[in-house]
Structure 1
């Protein structure tokens, strides 16, 4: 946000656009990574539940 603000205050539309696009790219990547992480956690919980239901392992307490 600072780079966008600085470029706008300096009256540099090219730098402002570049900073805005860099920020959008960063947000998109961060959201995709967070979504993948959430998917992996859901799959891990499902696998753990399936193994627990099958009697393969003892259920564990959920971490906080």
Structure 2
């Protein structure tokens, strides 16, 4: 969980905190496999992939 806007964020801090409280799609499920998939959400760089159990993993890619 990311609790603060990233450095250089283009959103106001208030807007970022409001929007961060909601779910936002960044990719279709079938686009994600065991290879890293780069995404950006609220100016935060993310990497998505599937682990050995095929569960989806999202991590901060800062």
Same fold (TM over 0.5): no
Quick check: which one's strand share is greater?
2
Q: TM-score, normalised by structure 1?
A: 0.24
Q: Name which structure has the greater RCO, CA cutoff 8 Å, separation 6+.
A: 2
Question: Could you state the TM-score of these two structures normalised by the residue count of structure 2?
Answer: 0.25
Higher helix residue share: 1
The structure whose Rg is larger is 1
